[in-house]
Every structure is written in structure tokens, then in C-alpha cells.
Amino acid sequence: MLITFCSFQTLLSHARVSLFWIKLNPLLGGPSPEVESNPTVSFILLALLFAFLVGPLGEETGWRGFALPRLQTRFSAFTSSLILGIIWTAWHIPLWFVPDSPQTVVPFGAFIIMCVSFSFILTWAYNNSKGSILIAVLLHWCFNFTGSLITSLGLIPQDIYFYTVAALYLVYATFVIVVFGPTKLSRKPDFEMPFVREK
């Protein structure tokens, strides 16, 4: 499984957004993590493990490992990403009705934008890494972990965080569609794609 430079840059962008808010929040009068929040190493490691196991590992095996290549044999990468993004959003809807679920703190409108936009980003990463499920798992995990850590520590208002991430994902998704094209979300030749499109 190949981790491309572009995919690594996408992973780093999650960290940049998180660090930006951590630095900016005290300047806006919010809590400083050094003063009011002091997470232990065990807390961070547990959060890392939890964010990896709950969602990314199982979901990406199904979404990107099974569904995406099959959708792309019939539809363009754009249509496949849109279909999968809508299904992915619907998959999470029941969690809004589960008491104390992490989903309940996420504005539903922001979640729809994040899910659908992230679906395009993951399709781009998948198609440009020879069908690497590992890339999809790592990107999904990074999103879950940074979101869980920042919101649980109260570093910034939750609504602001999620709407900011949703806006950035929408920009990223638009960028890959425009630059790499809606047909494959890739500039690679057909024989290098991790699927064979039906004629």
C-alpha cells in the first residue's frame, strides 16, 4: 500500500487546523490548554486507540475497500464519491439519537458537509495511492482523533470548530475536483486506477 506525498500533506493539514485553533483560542479569551487542560500521556494514547478502532478501521474496509471500487466500475469518481458520501452520512444519523454519543455535539449541517466533502477527498487519496485502504483509514482516524481531542478539551467552541472543518473540507474537495477532474479525481492513466470501469 502506497502513501503518496499528497496524501501525507492532507494528513498534516488536519494537524495544522488543530494547532491553529489551539494557538488562537487563548488570544480570543478562551481557555489555554497549558492552564486549564492538562491531558495525560495515557489519555492521549487511549484517545488515539479509540479514534482508530471506533470508525476508521471497520468503516473504511467497507466504504473504500469494498463499495468505492465497485461504484467506480459503473460511475465517475465524482458520482461515486457523492453516492458514498450520502450513504456515509445516513449511516451516522442514528448516533444523534444515542445519549452521550460524540455525534450529538456535531451540528448536523456541518456533518453533512464534512461527510460528503471528505468522501471526495478519500476517493482522491484512494485513486492516487493504487487503492490504498491504509490511506483512507489514516485520514479517517486523524479526523476522528483531532476532533475528539479538541472538543473534549474545550479548546474552542464546538460549533466553530466543526463549521471551520466543514468549510475547509469543502474547499479541499472542490480543489481536487477542479485540479484532478471529476471523472477519476486523478491524472493517472486508466491502467493505473484501482478499478476497471465498465464500457
Whether 150 and 161 have beta carbons less than 8 Å apart is answered as yes
* Helix, strand, coil percentages, rounded to 5, for the chain: 75, 0, 25
Round to whole Å and give the CA distance between 121 and 87: 16
SS3 (DSSP) at 131: coil
Q: Could you count the other beta carbons within 10 Å of the beta carbon of residue 15?
A: 12
Q: What is the pLDDT of residues 135-156, one digit of tens each?
A: 999 998 888 777 766 776 777 8
Round to whole Å and give the CA distance between 84 and 163: 21
Which residue numbers in the chain have pLDDT < 70? 1-40, 43-44, 47-48, 50-51, 54, 148-149, 152, 199
As a three-state string, the secondary structure of 50-80 is HHHHCCHHHHHHHHHHHHHHHHHCCCCHHHH
Q: Which residue has the cell 456541518?
A: 110
pLDDT at 163: 94
pLDDT at 3: 39
pLDDT at 120: 98
CA distances for 77 relative to 7, 36, 80, 131, 181, angstroms: 17, 45, 5, 13, 9
Phi, psi angle pair for 38, to nearest 5°: -140, 75
- Interacting residues of 133 by C-beta distance below 8 A, sequence separation 6+: 1, 60, 61, 64, 65, 126
SS3 (DSSP) at 95: helix
pLDDT at 29: 54
pLDDT at 166: 95
Round to whole Å and give the CA distance between 120 and 80: 9
